[in-house]
Amino acid sequence: MRVLGINALFHDPAAALVVDGRIVAAAEEERFSRRKHGKRPLPFSAWELPELSARWCLEQAGLTPADLDAVAYSYDAHLSRPAEQMGLHDPWDHLRQEYARRAPEFLAEALPGLDPGKVRFVAHHVAHAASAGQASPHPDCAVLVLDGRGECGSHLAGRYVNRELTVLASQELPDSVGLFYEDLTQHLGFLRSSDEFKVMALASYGKPRFKDRLREFVHADGDGGFRARPVPWASLVPGREPGAPWSQEHADVAASAQECLEDVMLDLARWLHGRTGEDVLTLAGGVALNCVANTRLYRESPFRQIWVQPAAGDAGTALGAALHVAGEKEPVAAMPTAALGRGWSDEELRGWLERAAVPYEEPDDIAETVAEELSRDGVVAWFQGRSEFGPRALGHRSLLAHPGRAENLERLNAVKGREEFRPVAPMVLAERAAELFDGPIPSPYMLFVHEVAEEWRARIPAVVHVDGTARIQTVDPVSEPLVARMLGAFERRTGLPVVVNTSLNTAGRPMVDDPRDALECFGSAPVDLLALGPFAVRRAKAYA
């Protein structure tokens, strides 16, 4: 069975392809269009489809739209109600719902040859749930979904047994911890439905002194649901204009909201464990990208193991919708990797370099070349293999640096044009991780935070956040042999088993995806070396 999954309605449009129960490809539209998040989550943009990523997914499998058995669309407008009946102020939501109902026509127009009758609507939170429960390596698990909104709700709690879902609870709108966090993001001068991770980072600089007040508006109900109503943020702290300096008050309200969110998630997880008795909890929905909250669940919930979908936001619903529809007809396999996007052969990469007319080298081992550059405190743009599905750079589209120099945090934030309070992450071999970090290991998708061992904090200061934690990525030499070899080569030179890893992009732009993007980023940012597949381009030679 050949199923194309589509996420389009709100933000992070994406496409994914499942063939004979196996995930073949998944990619976000932003990587093709170069528009951050693909589009803004406005009713007027709801008609826009992930045409470029959908076509690429089909090309990857050698299929045409006519070859598809189904297209799974991750929203079902027939389950929705008018916004005013759900307590939402969204006067144009009826336009969004009309676009969703007419998705089969729009898809047939965008993908010539597609029979619109093959389009299947999948409830938004069911698609989120499948992206976790069916994509994880655990056929039997509990699943928790939290985001801004779906058709009528903002939450789903359920259980997968042999990859079949039973829904146990949901929370109707307007209560939404996702919208609660989005509202604060906007109040603090960041871009809502985009910059929530900045609020999480800022929270580490604050004290939760507003928590008791916020609990009047946001709290669990003790029965698998919660209340999360609009907060009068201005009565707590003044708003911040975009780009203006942040104050301690702003950090304190961020810390307070973060703890309220964690408390709700922990209560929901305890309730769900009581209903299911499962050992494994899987997570999806945009809230599941909050790695601080995920770690609290790991430490304090009754679940023994937690698996988070690496594309937990709306992009992941394209994959989840495809898995859900495919799973109704045949067994589906777990997600093998997050590297589900575009890739190029060595000769194709050589062709890009030749056309760009930049001087390049072909060393015996690019891992050794990069390790040598990093050991000299150079910044490296690392472009290898297929691109990642989801917002995290996981050793395929990364900026790398030396972790032993504290100033490299400020240096990388300046290179990327980011706020100074934003942390960067360490990558470390899985077999070495427990020596340096306390937390869930392995952690291949960078979705938890770990306490950095006291004796290592002064040795790798660039990756230690203000609260003594780091959001690590563990590297398995079997699945990531090149990254593992680079880490080993760096340790031989420096004695440090860690390399700084942050996404290969600059502020406000999507992560680099194709070779042209890599060359443009290298040309515009103060990066010392570009490792494009097996080839090395040095700034000193390219711009001599």
Residue 185 Cα distances to 25, 153, 207, 390, angstroms = 32, 21, 17, 21
CA 469 to the chain's CA centroid: 19
Checking phi first, is residue 485 left (phi over 0); if not, alpha (psi -120 to 50) or beta? alpha
Cα Rg of the chain, angstroms: 22
Q: How many CB atoms lie within 10 A of CB 45?
A: 17
CA 84 to the chain's CA centroid: 31
Asked if 44 and 99 touch (Cβ cutoff 8 Å), the reply is no
Query: Which residues share a beta bridge with 425?
Result: 501
DSSP helix/strand/coil, 490: helix
**Is 523 exposed, middle or buried, given 0-12, 13-18 or 19+ CB atoms closer than 10 A?**
middle
How far is Cα 399 from Cα 396, in angstroms, rounded to an integer?
Answer: 10
CA trace torsion 252, 255, 260, 264 (10° rounding): 170
Long-range contacts of 529-532 (CB under 8 A, 24+ apart): 529/369, 529/370, 529/373, 529/378, 529/379, 529/380, 529/381, 530/380, 530/381, 530/383, 531/366, 531/369, 531/370, 531/380, 531/381, 531/382, 531/383, 531/384, 532/349, 532/352, 532/353, 532/360, 532/383
How far is Cα 13 from Cα 8, in angstroms, rounded to an integer?
Answer: 5
Q: Letter for the amino acid at 432? A: R
Catalytic residues: 11
How far is Cα 445 from Cα 447, in angstroms, rounded to an integer?
Answer: 6
Residue 310 Cα distances to 66, 89, 291, 319, 388, angstroms = 30, 31, 11, 11, 9
Strands lying side by side in the sheet with 450-452:
437-438, 450-452, 469-470
Structure tokens at 274: 């009581």
Asked if 74 and 127 touch (Cβ cutoff 8 Å), the reply is yes
